[in-house]
Homo-oligomer: A and B are copies of this chain.
């Protein structure tokens, strides 16, 4: 098994309990599917050096599995050996090469979706559905209300407001590039965009509708019936809640933002980033940010505890929101969240699932103290923010839709 993806350890790796937590966490998570037994090869890279460790776990337990201090120490020692066995970083390391080990550029073509061909007809239908407030109970809230394509695919925050002016518990995640995330929502409770699309529309604090309301509303408008027929040909009942979700997934798959300065850099243009941005990228890799924020979305690929080094204040990490724990009911998933995907992050203040940090520099600082083992200097924070600014890509131009006309059979809004 080679389960662990490349992990970037901090440049100055200190062997202490806290420093091992993140590393232990990732090993634990990979083992977990095998009943807490197993072996794995962990791969790490520091400054372009690829390091490997081979680790066996044989702990057997019943019920909830919690990482203990002993586990952290064991794994920490392993990690340290791995680290120390590496050759020290070379001054002449190629930043682009290191970046390419951690990240991938956003493709310029729409990615394929397994089991849901992204056809022109489906995308066009999905766009209408995404913008149609009449699918919510009140008929004034659309997907775009909270995932506003005019403002980075999110609302103004801090957390979303839905039916009856109820405040949701978390910051709206962006739909831009969401197709590249390992799963959807801050806690990853939806395996894909199709599954995600079915959730907010039914949530009582969001759109507060039912699948029946959605299907009845869509079926009442000949304009929609025709579009569903075209998007799902050869189906006996094209207007269905499943197909509603599939069409939205197809549209959202097109919401990718290629051609950022960082993408140009990854694609070989060494001059796409200026000196400060390169310094920021170097710090991002070297300080361990890329340990969680890696892959095509510079995040969004895996789950990590928030507060691995130091627990943030209750405003940033509200005690009541236990994150992925509510999905897995596993104690070790308490305060675990999907690493935020950082594409276009500069467009999306306020930050974190709580939406309580309005400045990107401050957010970088919080990450430094909460997740890393060295407080970032002011210059490092500025450099990292400069690098994060280069993650803003070309947002797709959207032709604002003209929606099918309601009929006398269309359900009326309900505000209760």
Contacts and interface: CB of A to CB of B under 8 A. Distances in A.
Interface of A: 131-134, 138-140, 145, 148-152, 155-158, 161, 164-165, 167, 346-347, 349-350, 358-359, 395, 397-403, 405-406, 408, 412-413, 415
A347 B403 CA distance: 10
A150 B131 contact: yes
A161 B141 CA distance: 11
Majority secondary structure of chain A interface residues (helix, strand, loop or mixed): loop
B161 A405 contact: no
A307 B236 CA distance: 49
A205 B260 CA distance: 41
Given A152-B405, A164-B165, 10 more contacts: A133-B148, A133-B151, A133-B155, A133-B156, A140-B145, A140-B155, A140-B161, A149-B400, A165-B165, A359-B408
B402 A400 contact: no
A132 B132 CA distance: 17
Nearest to A161: B140
Contact of A402 (B150, B155, B164, B399): B150
A347 B407 CA distance: 9
A404 to B, nearest CB: 9
Contacts of A346: 405
B349 A157 contact: no
Nearest to A394: B402
Contact of A157 (B395, B401, B403, B413): B413
A167 B140 CA distance: 12
A386 to B, nearest CB: 15
A134 B413 CA distance: 25
Given A148-B133, A401-B150, A415 B167 contact: yes
Contacts of A395: 402
Contact of A347 (B155, B165, B397, B405): B405
A132 B150 contact: yes
13 contacts: A133-B155, A134-B151, A139-B155, A140-B161, A150-B400, A151-B406, A158-B412, A164-B165, A165-B165, A165-B415, A346-B405, A395-B402, A399-B399
